[in-house]
Amino acid sequence: MTQRTHANRRHPVAQMYAEEFKAGQIDRREFLARTTALGLTAAAAYTLGGLGAPAQAAGHAQRGGTIRMQSEVRAHKDPRTYDWTQMAYVTHGVIEYLIEYNSDGTFRGMLLEGWEANEDATQFTLKVRQGIKWNNGDDFTAEDVARNIERWCDKAVEGNSMAARMASLVDEATSKARDGAIQVVDSHTVLLTASQPDITLIPGMADYPAAIVHSSYDPTADLSTLVGTGPMKISSNEVGVKAVIEKSGHEWWGDAALEGGGWFIDTLEIIDYGQDPAAWVAAAEAEEVDVFYETVGDFIDIMDGLGWQNSNIATGSTIVIRPNQLAEDGDGNKIYGDKRVRQALAMAVNNDVCLELGYASRGVGADNCHVGPVHPEHDASVGRLPYDPAKAKALMDEAGMGDFEHEVQSIDDDWRKNTTAAVVAQLNDAGIKARHTILPGSTFWNDWTKYAFSSTNWNHRPLGTQVLALAYKSGEAWNEFGFANEEFDTLLAQANSIADADARREVMAKMQAILIDEGVTIQPYWRSLYRHSAPSIVGAEMHIAYLPQAYKWSVAG
Amino acid sequence: MGRFILRRTGVLILTALCLTFIVFLLTNLYPNLEKLAKSEGNFRMADHEVATFLSNNGYRSALDPDFLAKVRSGQATDEEIEAGINTGFDARIFRNYGEWLGIVPGYVIEGTDGTTRARCATPGMDIADAPSFCGILQGYWGWSTVFKDEAGSIIGTRLALTGKLMFWVMLLMVPSALIIGVLAGMREGSATDRSLSTVSITTTATPEYVSGVLFIAVFASSAVGLKWFKGTATSAMDNATFENFFLPVLTIALYGMGYIARMTRASMAEVMTAHYVRTARLKGVSFRNIVLKHALRNALIAPFTVIMLQFPWLLNGVVIVETLFNYKGFGWVLVQAAGNNDIELLMGVSVVSVFVVLVTQLISDIGYVYLNPRISVT
C-alpha cells in the first residue's frame, strides 16, 4: 500500500509549541511552520493551535512550481478511444472525470457529487455537482453528463472501448444507447437504467477513457483550445517529444468542493525519453525530470539508490498456478477431480516464498482466492488453508496420488517462469513429485485454459467480482480451472446485484471460502507497481490503475 | 564553372528522384501499408477492411465493388477473399508518386464509407478549399501519420536542432583534427606522430554507440560518480549548456576526428618530403616557417574534401547519438518515421539527406578547384 503520513499521531513537541503559541511567545506563521515540519497535517495543526481552518484548506501543499514527468507523449485522439493511459495524463487537467478511482479501492465523486443505486443495481441515480463551469463560461449540467454517456455507448465508433464498459446501457440492435437508458431528470440529476444488474457501471466511469468533453468537442481541433472543466490548458503536445500543461486561469471547482483542494502546480511538463528505462535514469541523474510514469524491474533498486522517493502500490494483478479439474490422464481419469489433491497442492506451497523467488518480493502475499485487499468487497478474515507440507503429503497419499508426478506448465519469461519454479520446488520439498515444463510464448497461449496444471497471469480489475465472473463462473470461456460450482455461481449472481461494497462483502466472504476450500488455485501474491519521484515532489504516488491524478501533486518549498 | 554547377544540379535532381522513388516503392509494399492501416485504423481489421481503408485513403486502387459487396454479405470464402485482394504491385503507385511530387492533381476519393477524403485537405480543412495540386513542388511535404502534423514543419524543426548539434561538432572536430594531423605529420615517425596516430586510430575505430555509452557511464552516471556532465541532451534542445551538450558533441566529434587527423597527417607527411620543402630547409628557413608558410596550405587540400564528406557521415552518426542521448533531431525523426512506416515523413527525410550529400560534394568539388589551381572542372 502507499505510505501515508500518520495524521493522528501527534508529536509531543507540537503540544509544547501549541502552548507557546497560545502564550504569545511565537507567532502564528512560525507555529504552523514548526508543527507541520514535525509531520502534522495542516488541518491538525490548525486544530491544535485553536485556529480556525482557512477557507481553502490548501495548507499542506505549497502552490506554484513546475513538475517534469517522464512519460511517453502520444498523439491525442477522442478520449473514448484512448488506448494508452499516457494520453489521459496530457488531457486530465482540462477534461475531467465524473468519478475518481483511488488506490485504496474506493471511488470518489468528482464532477458527480454522488450516486445511488437501487436494490438490485439496475438503476443508478447520478447527482451532478452544482456550480461547475466549463472553461468557456458554460454551465456544467446533467445534459452534459447524459450527452457524454451517450457518446460512450456508441459502439459504431471505431476503437470506442467505453462501449464495452457501458454494455448494459447499449442496445445491441442499434449499437447505440438503449431508448430510455439515460434520462435527464433535472438540471443536476441523471438516471441510468441498465438492462441487467451491473455494479461495474460506476467503476467503468472512473477509467481513463471516460473523460468528460464539451458539446463542441472536435478531436482534430488544436489541443490548446480544448474546452473542459479543469483549471489547466494544454500549451503544447508534441508527439514523442514533450507536452506542456499550464494553469489557464479558469477557477477550479475542486478547490471549494474537495477537501484540500488541488492543482497546486502551475505547470506540468511531460517529457518523452523513449522506451529505454536506462534513458529515464540518465534523465533523473541529469535532474531533467522529477517524476517517472512507472519504474520497472531492476531500475526500482537503481532509483532507490539515487535517493528518489519510492511509491508503490499492490494491485490486483496476479498469477495463478492452478490445476484444471477437468484434465484427464491417459486412462481418462480426472487427475485433479479430487478436492483433497487440490488442497494438498495449495497446502504444500508457502506463498511468501513464491513472492520472494518469483517476483523479488515486489508485491504482497495473497490467500489463494483471487480477491484481495485492493478490492472494496474483500473480506480479510477469510484466509488460506494453512501452509503445512506434512499434512499436504498425507492428503495426497490419502487420495491415492502419492506416486503421481505433476507436470506444471509455464510460459518462458522472467517472473511467471520463476514463480512456477518456486511452486514446483516446494511441491518436491513436501514429497509431492512435480516437474516444470517451460513453453515458449508463441505456443503457450494456444491452449492456456486447457493445461492440466499451469500458471497464468491476470490483470487488475477494480471489483473483486469482475475477475471471478470472468474466470471462475461455470462454463466461462476463460475458466481455466475447470471449476463448476452451483453455489458459487448463485452467490456471484447475488453479489453482482449489490452495489454497496459493505453489503457485498458478506456474500464475497462465502465465495472466498468456497474457492479456498475447493483448492481451486494457488494464487501466491499480488504484484506491486512502482513509481519514483524526486525528493522535492509531494504526493506523486503510483496509482493502482495508472490513472492520472496530478492535481494531488505539489512541489515542496 | 557555371556549366559544371548546372550539370551537378541536374545529377542532384536525378539522384533525388531515383532515391525517393525507391523509398516510396519500399514504404508502399503491401505489408508495410497493412501495418500502417492497422495502426491508423484499428488492429483488429479484417483483410478486406484493410484493403478498403487503403483505397479510401488513396494508397491503393479501389476494390471491385461487386467483390466488396460479396465479402460484406459474408458469401465469399477465405480463398476468394484472398484472391480478390491485390497485395502485389499496384500501378497506382506511379500516380501516388506523381501526387507526392506535385505534378499530378491530389486524389479526391469518395470512400466506401461515404466520407470524401482529399490528399490536399489537411485534417480540419474543408475539402472544397483544398488546392488541387499539393506536392513537394508546391512546397507541401505531406502529412506525418505518426506525429499528426505537417511533415515539412517537423523536418524543419528537427533539422534545425541537428544543425545546432552539427555546428558544435564541426567546431570541435575540425580544428582539433587538423592540429593533431599537422603535429603528427610534420615529423613522420617521431614519438609525437606515433602517439597521436594511436589516439586517432583508437577514436575512429570506436563506434558512437560504444563511446557514447562509455562516456555516459563514466562522466554522467552515479555508477562512477564523476557526474561532470548530463547523460541526456533532451534539455539541450531548448537550452544547450556545456554540461548537457558536451557529451553528444564529443561522441560524434571523436569518431570523425580520428579519420580527418589521419588524412591530414598523410597529406602533411607527403608535403614535408616534397622537393620544395627540402629546398627551403637547405636555404635555412626555420622549421616553424616551413610548416606554417610553405607546407600547411598544400597539406590542407586533401583534408578539405574529407571534411566535406564528413557531413553525410555525420547524418549517419546523429541517428545513433540522438537516440542515445534523447536529443530529438533529424536522426531521431528518421528512426521514428522508419519504425512506423510514416511514408511522407520518410520521403521528406530522404529528400533532405540526398540534398545534403550532393550539395556538400558540390561544395567540395568547387572548393578543390580554388585550393588547387592545377585542377579544372570544365
pLDDT tens string B167-187:
999 999 999 999 999 999 988
> What pLDDT, on the 0 to 100 scale, is given for residue A445?
83
Angle made by CA atoms A100, A102, A105, in degrees to the nearest 5: 120
Residue A273 forms contact with B (CB below 8 Å): yes
A288 touches chain B (CB under 8 A): yes
Whether this prediction's pTM lies above 0.90 is answered by no
The answer to whether B336 contacts chain A (CB < 8 Å) is: yes
Please report whether residue A130 resides in a domain: yes
Q: Which domain holds residue A181?
A: 3-56+97-210
Q: Please indicate if any CB of chain B lies within 8 Å of the CB of A279.
A: yes
Q: For position A330, which CATH number holds? A: 3.10.105.10
Taking the CA of residue A369 and the nearest CA in chain B, the distance in Å comes to: 34
Contacts of A389 (CB under 8 A, 6+ apart): A347, A348, A426, A429, A430, A431
A164 Cβ under 8 Å from any chain B Cβ? no
In angstroms, the Cα distances linking A10 to A26, A376, A553 are 19, 29, 24
With CB atoms and an 8 Å threshold, state whether A285 touches B231.
yes
Tell me: the pLDDT tens digits for A358-378? 999 999 999 999 999 989 999
Contact (CB<8Å) B235/A279: no
User: Cα angle at A285 between A284 and A286, to 5 degrees?
Assistant: 90
**Searching chain A, which residue's CA lies closest to the CA of residue B228?**
A286
- A386 in contact with B, Cβ within 8 Å: no
Q: Say whether B326 and A274 touch across the interface (CB within 8 A).
A: yes
For A279, the grid coordinates are 534513458
Bridge-based pairing of strands A267-271 and A66-70 is: parallel
User: Letter for the amino acid at B152?
Assistant: G
- Cβ within 8 Å, pair A286-B244: yes
Own/partner long-range contacts of A357-362 (Cβ < 8 Å, ≥24 apart): A357/A418, A357/A419, A357/A421, A357/A422, A358/A319, A358/A415, A358/A416, A358/A418, A358/A419, A358/A420, A358/A421, A358/A422, A358/A524, A358/A525, A359/A415, A359/A418, A359/A419, A359/A525, A359/A527, A362/A300, A362/A312, A362/A527, A362/A528, A362/A530
Q: Which residue in chain A is spatially nearest to B230 when comparing CA positions?
A: A286
Inter-chain CB proximity A305 and B222 less than 8 Å: yes
Nearest-CA neighbor of A498 among A198, A190, A165, A182?
A198
Question: Do residues A184 and A41 both lie within one domain?
Answer: yes
Q: Quick one: closest CA in A to B236, which residue?
A: A288
* A288·B234 Cβ contact <8 A: yes
Whether residue A382 lies inside any domain: the answer is yes
Residue A59 pLDDT level (bands cut at 50, 70, 90): very low
Q: How far is residue B213's CA from residue A42's CA, in Å, rounded to a whole number? A: 47
Q: How far is CA A538 from CA A4, A34, A190, A556, B254, in A?
A: 11, 18, 36, 6, 42
Model confidence over B273-292: pLDDT tens digits? 999 999 999 999 999 999 88
**What is the C-alpha separation between A268 and A549, in angstroms, rounded?**
12
Percentage of the residues of chain A whose pLDDT score is greater than 90: 68
pLDDT of residue A382: 92
Q: Is A226 exposed, middle or buried (0-12, 13-18, 19+ CB in 10 A)?
A: buried
C-alpha pair distances (Å), A145 with each of A136, A151, A205, A212, A376:
17, 10, 11, 7, 26
Which residues from B are below 8 Å from A218, CB to CB?
124
pLDDT higher than threshold 90 for residue A130: yes
A:294-323 residues touching chain B, CB 8 A cutoff: 305-306
Chain A CA closest to residue B41: A158
Query: Is the Cβ of A271 closer than 8 Å to some Cβ of chain B?
Result: yes
A219 touches chain B (CB under 8 A): no
> Which chain A residues touch B323 with a CB distance below 8 Å?
274
Chain B nearest-CA residue for A274: B326
Task: Inspect the interface and report whether the beta carbons of A221 and B124 lie closer than 8 Å.
Answer: yes
Q: Which residue of B has its CA nearest to A239?
A: B147
* Interface touch A75/B235, C-beta < 8 Å: no
pLDDT at position A435:
95
Q: Is A107 within the bounds of a domain? A: yes
Q: Residue A501: phi, psi to the nearest 5?
A: -65, -40
List, for residues A442-485, the tens digit of each pLDDT value. 788 878 888 999 999 998 999 999 999 989 999 888 899 999 99
pLDDT tens per residue, range B101-146: 988 888 888 877 777 888 887 776 777 777 888 888 888 888 888 8
A111 Cα to chain B: minimum distance (Å): 30
Give the confidence band of A40 by pLDDT, cuts at 50, 70, 90: low
Beta carbons of A286 and B336 less than 8 Å apart: no
Kindly report the average pLDDT of chain B as a whole number: 87
Per the CB < 8 Å rule, is A286 touching B220?
A: yes
What residue spans define the domains of chain B?
A: 30-148, 153-371
Mean pLDDT (whole number) for A64-90:
92
pLDDT category, A208, cuts 50, 70, 90? very high
Name the DSSP class of A53: P
**How many CB pairs (< 8 A) connect A and B?**
61
- The three cell numbers of residue A229 are 472543466
From chain A, the residues in CB contact with B244 under 8 A are 286
Strands A291-292 and A66-70: parallel
Contacts of A306 in chain B (CB under 8 A): 222
Place of cell 459487396: B69
State the nearest Cα–Cα gap between A175 and chain B, in angstroms: 17
The nearest CA of chain A is from the CA of B134 a distance in Å of 21
- Residue-wise pLDDT tens digits, B203-248: 989 999 999 999 998 998 887 878 889 888 888 888 889 989 999 9
Residues B227-260 as b or e (16 or more Cβ within 10 Å = b)? eebbbbbbbbbeebeeebbbbbbbbbbbbbbbbb
Q: Which residues on chain A are in Cβ contact (under 8 Å) with B328?
A: 240-241
Q: Which chain A residues are closer than 8 Å to B232 by Cβ?
A: 273, 279, 282-283, 286, 288
Is residue A29 predicted with pLDDT exceeding 90? no
A220 Cβ under 8 Å from any chain B Cβ = yes
C-alpha cell at A437: 515444463
Cell digits of residue B344? 511522407
Q: Which of residues 28-87 of B touch A (CB under 8 A)?
A: 41-42
Q: What is the pLDDT of residues B159-168, one digit of tens each?
A: 999 999 999 9
Residue in chain A closest to B153 (alpha carbons) equals: A238
Which chain A residue is nearest to residue B233, measuring alpha carbons?
Answer: A283
Distance from CA of B168 to the nearest CA of A (A): 21
Instruction: Determine the Cα–Cα distance for residues A126 and B131; give it in Å rounded to an integer.
Output: 49
Tell me whether residue A281 is in a domain: no
Q: How many domains does chain A have?
A: 2
Are A283 and B232 inside 8 Å of each other by CB? Answer: yes
Which CATH code is given to the segment(s) B153-371?
A: 1.10.3720.10
* Residue in B123, B220, B336 closest to A220 by CB: B123
Q: Is residue A203 part of a domain?
A: yes
Query: Using a CB-CB distance cutoff of 8 angstroms, which residues of chain B are in contact with residue A74?
Result: none
Query: Which among A158, A274, A286 has CB closest to B41?
Result: A158
Query: Which residue, A210, A241, A269, sits at the end of a domain?
Result: A210
Chain A: closest CA distance from residue B151 (Å): 13
Q: Is residue A114 part of a domain?
A: yes
pLDDT attached to residue A56: 38
Main-chain dihedrals φ then ψ at residue A472, nearest 5 degrees: -115, -10
Q: Please identify among residues 205-244 of chain B the ones whose CB lies closer than 8 Å to any CB of chain A.
A: 216, 220-222, 227, 230-232, 234-235, 244
SS3 A455: strand
Is the Cβ–Cβ distance between A521 and A370 less than 8 Å? yes
Helices A339-347 and A501-517 sit at what angle, rounded to 10 degrees?
Answer: 100
The answer to whether residue B326 neighbours chain A at the CB level (below 8 Å) is yes
pLDDT of residue A2: 41
Does residue A81 form part of some domain? no
Chain A, nearest residue to B154 by Cα: A238
Determine which of A35-39, B186-190, B279-283 has the lowest per-residue pLDDT on average. Answer: A35-39
Cβ–Cβ contact B147 with A under 8 A: yes
Instruction: Check CB contact under 8 Å for A273 and B326.
Output: yes
Q: Is A346 helix (H, G, I), strand (E, B) or coil?
A: helix
| pLDDT level of residue B83 (50, 70, 90 thresholds) | confident
Residue A551 lies in a domain: no
Choose the final residue of a domain: A210, A243, A274: A210
Cβ atoms within 10 Å of B298's Cβ, excluding its own:
17
